[in-house]
Amino acid sequence: MKFTLPKLNFTFDALEPNIDAQTVETHYTKHHQGYMDNFQILVDKYPELKNLTAEKILTDLEKLNINNIDRTKLKNMGGGYLNHNIYWSNLNPNNTKDKNLIKKINRDFGSIKKFKEQFTQLATTLFGSGWVWLVEKSDGKLDIYQLPNQDSPLTLGHKPILALDVWEHAYYLKYKNKRIDYINAWWNLIKLI
Protein backbone atom coordinates (compact mmCIF):
# COMPACT_ATOMS: atom_id res chain seq x y z
CA MET A 1 0.00 0.00 0.00
CA LYS A 2 1.40 3.37 -0.97
CA PHE A 3 0.08 5.93 1.47
CA THR A 4 -0.60 9.49 0.42
CA LEU A 5 -1.29 12.69 2.28
CA PRO A 6 -4.88 13.77 1.78
CA LYS A 7 -4.92 16.87 -0.37
CA LEU A 8 -6.07 19.87 1.63
CA ASN A 9 -9.08 21.47 0.01
CA PHE A 10 -7.96 24.86 1.28
CA THR A 11 -4.90 27.08 1.19
CA PHE A 12 -2.51 27.29 4.13
CA ASP A 13 -3.86 30.71 5.07
CA ALA A 14 -7.54 29.71 4.86
CA LEU A 15 -7.81 29.04 8.60
CA GLU A 16 -6.55 32.50 9.57
CA PRO A 17 -6.91 34.12 12.05
CA ASN A 18 -7.82 31.03 14.04
CA ILE A 19 -4.85 28.96 12.93
CA ASP A 20 -2.04 30.84 11.21
CA ALA A 21 -0.70 29.90 7.78
CA GLN A 22 2.79 29.04 8.99
CA THR A 23 1.43 26.59 11.56
CA VAL A 24 -0.83 24.93 8.99
CA GLU A 25 2.00 24.63 6.47
CA THR A 26 4.53 23.27 8.96
CA HIS A 27 1.99 20.95 10.54
CA TYR A 28 0.96 19.51 7.19
CA THR A 29 4.19 19.46 5.18
CA LYS A 30 6.58 18.55 8.01
CA HIS A 31 4.79 16.84 10.89
CA HIS A 32 2.02 15.05 9.03
CA GLN A 33 4.29 14.19 6.09
CA GLY A 34 6.93 12.91 8.51
CA TYR A 35 4.52 10.55 10.24
CA MET A 36 3.33 9.22 6.90
CA ASP A 37 6.86 8.69 5.54
CA ASN A 38 7.97 6.83 8.65
CA PHE A 39 4.79 4.74 8.63
CA GLN A 40 5.47 3.78 5.02
CA ILE A 41 9.02 2.66 5.84
CA LEU A 42 7.74 0.45 8.65
CA VAL A 43 4.92 -1.09 6.64
CA ASP A 44 7.31 -1.82 3.77
CA LYS A 45 9.39 -3.98 6.15
CA TYR A 46 6.55 -6.52 6.47
CA PRO A 47 5.17 -8.25 3.34
CA GLU A 48 2.07 -9.31 5.33
CA LEU A 49 1.19 -5.66 5.90
CA LYS A 50 1.58 -4.53 2.35
CA ASN A 51 -2.04 -5.08 1.28
CA LEU A 52 -3.60 -3.63 4.41
CA THR A 53 -5.02 -0.14 4.69
CA ALA A 54 -3.64 2.17 7.37
CA GLU A 55 -7.01 1.93 9.13
CA LYS A 56 -6.85 -1.86 9.19
CA ILE A 57 -3.29 -1.83 10.55
CA LEU A 58 -4.28 0.48 13.42
CA THR A 59 -7.48 -1.45 14.14
CA ASP A 60 -5.66 -4.79 14.29
CA LEU A 61 -2.47 -3.43 15.82
CA GLU A 62 -2.41 -5.78 18.82
CA LYS A 63 -2.98 -8.86 16.61
CA LEU A 64 -0.26 -8.21 14.05
CA ASN A 65 2.54 -10.76 13.95
CA ILE A 66 5.41 -8.27 14.32
CA ASN A 67 7.94 -7.45 17.02
CA ASN A 68 6.79 -5.16 19.80
CA ILE A 69 9.26 -2.39 19.03
CA ASP A 70 7.82 -2.09 15.53
CA ARG A 71 4.28 -2.41 16.93
CA THR A 72 4.92 0.70 19.03
CA LYS A 73 6.42 2.50 16.04
CA LEU A 74 3.43 1.56 13.89
CA LYS A 75 1.12 2.89 16.60
CA ASN A 76 3.00 6.18 16.73
CA MET A 77 3.58 6.72 13.02
CA GLY A 78 0.36 5.18 11.72
CA GLY A 79 -1.60 7.06 14.35
CA GLY A 80 0.22 10.26 13.45
CA TYR A 81 -0.70 9.74 9.82
CA LEU A 82 -4.39 8.86 10.30
CA ASN A 83 -5.08 11.24 13.18
CA HIS A 84 -3.93 14.20 11.12
CA ASN A 85 -6.04 13.05 8.15
CA ILE A 86 -9.08 13.43 10.41
CA TYR A 87 -7.86 16.71 11.90
CA TRP A 88 -7.61 18.37 8.47
CA SER A 89 -10.89 16.95 7.25
CA ASN A 90 -12.63 18.42 10.32
CA LEU A 91 -11.11 21.84 9.58
CA ASN A 92 -12.04 22.05 5.91
CA PRO A 93 -13.73 25.47 5.48
CA ASN A 94 -16.14 23.85 2.98
CA ASN A 95 -17.62 21.59 5.66
CA THR A 96 -21.27 22.04 6.48
CA LYS A 97 -23.18 21.21 9.62
CA ASP A 98 -23.96 17.54 10.11
CA LYS A 99 -27.55 17.36 11.33
CA ASN A 100 -27.35 13.67 12.14
CA LEU A 101 -24.28 14.20 14.31
CA ILE A 102 -25.92 17.15 16.07
CA LYS A 103 -28.86 14.91 16.91
CA LYS A 104 -26.56 12.24 18.35
CA ILE A 105 -24.57 14.80 20.38
CA ASN A 106 -27.78 16.16 21.89
CA ARG A 107 -28.90 12.61 22.67
CA ASP A 108 -25.65 11.52 24.33
CA PHE A 109 -24.39 14.74 25.96
CA GLY A 110 -27.62 16.58 26.70
CA SER A 111 -26.82 19.61 24.54
CA ILE A 112 -24.18 21.01 22.21
CA LYS A 113 -23.16 23.42 24.95
CA LYS A 114 -22.54 20.62 27.45
CA PHE A 115 -20.66 18.61 24.84
CA LYS A 116 -18.39 21.55 24.03
CA GLU A 117 -17.75 22.25 27.70
CA GLN A 118 -16.76 18.65 28.42
CA PHE A 119 -14.62 18.39 25.29
CA THR A 120 -12.88 21.68 26.06
CA GLN A 121 -12.25 20.57 29.65
CA LEU A 122 -10.53 17.42 28.37
CA ALA A 123 -8.46 19.47 25.92
CA THR A 124 -7.28 21.97 28.53
CA THR A 125 -6.38 19.29 31.10
CA LEU A 126 -4.61 16.82 28.81
CA PHE A 127 -1.10 16.55 30.24
CA GLY A 128 1.74 16.40 27.72
CA SER A 129 1.12 15.60 24.06
CA GLY A 130 -2.01 13.98 22.77
CA TRP A 131 -5.46 14.36 21.31
CA VAL A 132 -9.04 14.75 22.40
CA TRP A 133 -11.53 12.61 20.51
CA LEU A 134 -15.21 12.41 19.79
CA VAL A 135 -15.85 8.81 18.78
CA GLU A 136 -18.71 6.49 18.04
CA LYS A 137 -18.63 3.15 19.81
CA SER A 138 -19.85 -0.15 18.42
CA ASP A 139 -23.25 0.29 20.12
CA GLY A 140 -23.72 3.60 18.29
CA LYS A 141 -23.17 5.77 21.39
CA LEU A 142 -20.85 8.75 21.22
CA ASP A 143 -18.03 9.27 23.70
CA ILE A 144 -15.24 11.76 24.28
CA TYR A 145 -11.84 11.08 25.78
CA GLN A 146 -8.18 11.96 25.79
CA LEU A 147 -5.56 9.74 24.19
CA PRO A 148 -1.82 10.24 24.68
CA ASN A 149 0.74 10.71 21.93
CA GLN A 150 -0.60 9.54 18.55
CA ASP A 151 -2.77 6.70 19.84
CA SER A 152 -5.75 6.02 17.59
CA PRO A 153 -9.36 5.36 18.64
CA LEU A 154 -9.34 2.67 15.93
CA THR A 155 -7.10 0.52 18.14
CA LEU A 156 -9.83 0.71 20.81
CA GLY A 157 -12.46 -0.36 18.28
CA HIS A 158 -14.03 3.11 18.06
CA LYS A 159 -14.88 5.19 15.01
CA PRO A 160 -13.17 8.60 15.17
CA ILE A 161 -15.38 11.58 14.35
CA LEU A 162 -13.76 14.72 15.69
CA ALA A 163 -10.08 15.15 16.51
CA LEU A 164 -8.40 17.97 18.37
CA ASP A 165 -4.62 17.89 18.23
CA VAL A 166 -3.19 19.44 21.39
CA TRP A 167 0.44 18.73 20.65
CA GLU A 168 2.32 22.02 20.96
CA HIS A 169 3.26 21.85 17.25
CA ALA A 170 -0.45 22.47 16.50
CA TYR A 171 -0.49 25.92 18.10
CA TYR A 172 2.77 27.07 19.63
CA LEU A 173 3.90 29.48 16.88
CA LYS A 174 0.83 31.66 17.38
CA TYR A 175 -0.52 30.84 20.80
CA LYS A 176 2.66 29.96 22.72
CA ASN A 177 1.59 28.54 26.11
CA LYS A 178 -2.03 29.68 25.78
CA ARG A 179 -3.56 26.38 24.77
CA ILE A 180 -7.04 27.52 25.70
CA ASP A 181 -6.90 30.29 23.07
CA TYR A 182 -6.04 27.70 20.42
CA ILE A 183 -8.88 25.43 21.60
CA ASN A 184 -11.39 28.28 21.37
CA ALA A 185 -10.07 29.24 17.92
CA TRP A 186 -10.36 25.61 16.82
CA TRP A 187 -14.04 25.56 17.76
CA ASN A 188 -14.56 28.53 15.41
CA LEU A 189 -13.51 26.25 12.55
CA ILE A 190 -15.61 23.22 13.39
CA LYS A 191 -18.64 23.16 11.14
CA LEU A 192 -19.83 19.75 12.25
CA ILE A 193 -21.85 21.24 15.05
The binding site for Fe ion (CB under 5 A) comprises 165, 167, 170
> Of all helices (H) and strands (E), which one includes residue 99?
helix 99-109
Can you tell me the distance from the alpha carbon of 26 to that of 13, in angstroms, rounded to the nearest whole number?
12
* Residue 132: CB minimum distance to Fe ion, A: 13
Whichever of 33 and 155 has its CB closer to Fe ion, that residue is 33
Whichever of 119 and 167 has its CB closer to Fe ion, that residue is 167
Can you tell me the distance from the alpha carbon of 83 to that of 1, in angstroms, rounded to the nearest whole number?
18
* Residue 170: CB minimum distance to Fe ion, A: 5
74 CB-contact burial (10 Å; exposed 0-12 / middle 13-18 / buried 19+): buried
- The residue sitting closest to Fe ion, measured at its beta carbon, is 165
* Residue 80: CB minimum distance to Fe ion, A: 7
* Residue 76: CB minimum distance to Fe ion, A: 12
Whichever of 119 and 171 has its CB closer to Fe ion, that residue is 171
163 CB-contact burial (10 Å; exposed 0-12 / middle 13-18 / buried 19+): buried
Would you give the DSSP letter of residue 5? P
Can you tell me the distance from the alpha carbon of 160 to that of 84, in angstroms, rounded to the nearest whole number?
12
Whichever of 23 and 59 has its CB closer to Fe ion, that residue is 23
